[in-house]
Chain A
């Protein structure tokens, strides 16, 4: 009899995952150090407080990935995803995401003005900025023109693979001021000018795709300068005892958003997590981890002043930086990605 009970228990244990097709909430973010920090500040405390299970996955962006997830229907395993600005806009228009119900996470008024939208709430405010090794280059580069100057600063450069932001950087290197970049890019001549400028640097470019790569490339000496998420730079300094420096002027400010994938069976849990992450006292712990900005207005007062000065949102760092124009990329990402691929492959 005992044997039978054991057997029954075994069968039940094997069968349960099959019956319980309902899976646990899966949060998808950008991996590496970044997601480690999010886990410490948001995910683990949320699990502790709610006692609810939470799974994680990571990705490297691309609206196509979201499209294929949405097309997968029931076999899509992603619920809450951190997306970039143009992915938010395109995905929302294409119906890849749920239209959010603000009542379920305490309203959108708590976020910085203009950062919450139909399908997304702000997840992270960051900059893509240039980093170099202060131990190798004593009197460091100051601008995009210096990034392009391989005579004064020998060595390879690393940029993120794809047209987004690289065209903006190229125009700034070519002498276009930050506030005129999108005006210039809106014309075909402006796009040609950006590609022509990228052409100059092309033999010296190593492309990166995932957020961990820039610090590895810089650390191994493979490249002399790289673009990077601003938060990864002090994190690498702390973890590996490096002396990497950030160039703030000409950095590009971005806002990532949390979205709920269309038809997610875990949308209720996802809303709870969004609500949790939006609490000022939870948000306030975020900048200390990776020097990224907070998106909740009330949390800003809780960030210590000396820390606030290192954030992409600090007024002195914002001066001369450029905010990503998602509208431009929504219209042009397909066409410019194709042109960029053709250009890069030559």
Chain B
């Protein structure tokens, strides 16, 4: 090894050491939680943690008719132990996710079981006597499906699907789905916001580069100021502005333009207005960067060669700022996929995005499996869309200027 390669190597090593804290930071706060989320989406240990013997015993059941008496005994032993530790509710909740009404079967059974196990009880006849559900195959099939430790139950639920007793996949509800609709709605709203943002950002960015430096920096502050304000504050401010007796409606009624207040809040309109306002700077800045890179004399040259304003824009100007538009559009689109608080404050029940349902399942119903599955679906869908976009547009056509 000669002198130069070893110097080069030590420079590289030093460089790596410098970014090591960043790598560790990303690993700890980004990749590890992400992996944890993906794991939660397929992990299914609620039932096995409360009823370990039952889960073990039901492995040997072939899934038809009723299981062997040994499985009944295992249920009785597990539930008597759960009665002592008051953990039966966890198993009851998991089975209730699968088949509603099983919560009450489990809790009613636990209530009527004795405090201690006595040998010699014929649980295969005792349990159905306590609750007739134990004498039917449905509850056993539900237990078999929920035995874990891994399952596709939550991921299927995130697509409004479930497995029927035969193991084939079918729609979870007869009255239509929820999460597929919400996913489609999330993408539609994100796409609409992106289009509006780009349409508004183009003239705004052009104004910023074409005015004098004094006005331009003032406009820049106006543009950036909202970025420094909390999203919550901005969303709440829009509530004040848009409500029935808010600023806009009062103004329009007072000057006689409208007789009845417009419905601007608790619907799609409110969500679109506020999201556009919040995300507009992310569209303006990359477009501005791209516009700065276009030499001014090129448009003049196009003009002098006989191209009209439209031809100049479409043949000379637009192709050069396209990377900026792509970058801005992608930023706005991906950011708006994750908005939670703005639609919550300004939208109706039909305008909530997927993050609302992730939060709902995390904090309200605490169905972490489903929340993780929904998060994974959103992540995967975003990656897929990003990949498709790169495929079509090309990565070199996205530039932050």
Contact = CB atoms under 8 A, between A and B. Distances in A.
B89 A65 contact: no
Nearest to A119: B86
B92 interface: yes
Q: Chain A at the B interface: mostly helix, strand, loop or mixed?
A: helix
Contacts of A95: 85-87, 89
Interface string B365-377: 1110000000000
B89 A220 contact: no
Interface in B75-110: 85-90, 92-93, 96-97, 100-101, 103-104, 107, 110
Interface stretch (A48-56, A302-310, A330-338): A330-338
Interface string B346-382: 0011101000010010011111000000000000000
Contact of A207 (B176, B244, B349, B365): B349
A93 B175 contact: no
A220 B249 CA distance: 13
A331 B104 contact: yes
A44 interface: no
Nearest to A155: B244
A64 interface: yes
Interface stretch (B60-68, B130-138, B177-185): B177-185
A64 B244 contact: no
Contact of A220 (B107, B244, B367): B244
B88 to A, nearest CB: 7
A238 interface: no
Nearest to A161: B349
B243 A334 contact: no
Contacts of B178: 338, 341-342, 345
B266 to A, nearest CB: 5
Contact of B363 (A68, A222, A330): A68
Interface in A57-72: 62, 64-65, 67-68, 71
A332 B90 contact: no
Contacts of B367: 64
B173 interface: yes
Nearest to A94: B89
B245 interface: yes
Given A334-B97, A334-B365, A93 B107 contact: yes
Given A93-B107, A95-B86, A95-B89, A342 B365 contact: no
Contacts of A94: 86-90, 92-93
Interface string B253-296: 00000000000011000000000000000000000000000000
A207 B265 CA distance: 12
A93 B86 contact: yes
A45 interface: no
Contact of A345 (B92, B103, B350): B350
Contacts of A335: 96, 100
B358 to A, nearest CB: 13
A332 B97 CA distance: 11
Most B CB contacts (10 A, CB to CB) among A68, A330, A345 go to A345
Given A206-B348, A342-B173, A345-B350, A332 B244 contact: no
B175 A331 contact: no
Contacts of B364: 62, 64-65
Contacts of A207: 348-349
A231 B219 CA distance: 50
A330 B265 CA distance: 34
A96 B90 CA distance: 10
Interface string A196-229: 0000000001110000000000001110000000
Contact of A206 (B176, B266, B363): B266
Contacts of B85: 95
A339 interface: yes
Contacts of A205: 349
A330 B104 contact: yes
Contacts of B360: 341
Contacts of A71: 366
A95 B173 CA distance: 31
A346 B181 CA distance: 8
Interface in A101-120: none
Contacts of B348: 206-207
Contacts of B88: 93-94
Given A93-B86, A339-B175, A341-B178, 13 more contacts: A62-B364, A64-B363, A64-B365, A65-B364, A93-B88, A93-B89, A93-B107, A94-B93, A96-B89, A330-B104, A334-B100, A345-B352, A346-B350
Which 8 residue pairs are nearest across A and B when measured between Cβ atoms? A94-B89, A95-B86, A64-B366, A344-B349, A335-B100, A342-B178, A64-B365, A67-B366
27 contacts: A64-B364, A64-B365, A65-B364, A65-B366, A68-B366, A71-B366, A93-B88, A94-B87, A94-B90, A94-B92, A94-B93, A95-B86, A95-B89, A161-B349, A205-B349, A207-B349, A221-B245, A222-B243, A222-B245, A222-B265, A330-B103, A331-B104, A334-B96, A334-B100, A335-B100, A344-B349, A345-B352
Interface of A: 62, 64-65, 67-68, 71, 90, 93-96, 161, 205-207, 220-222, 330-332, 334-335, 337-339, 341-342, 344-346
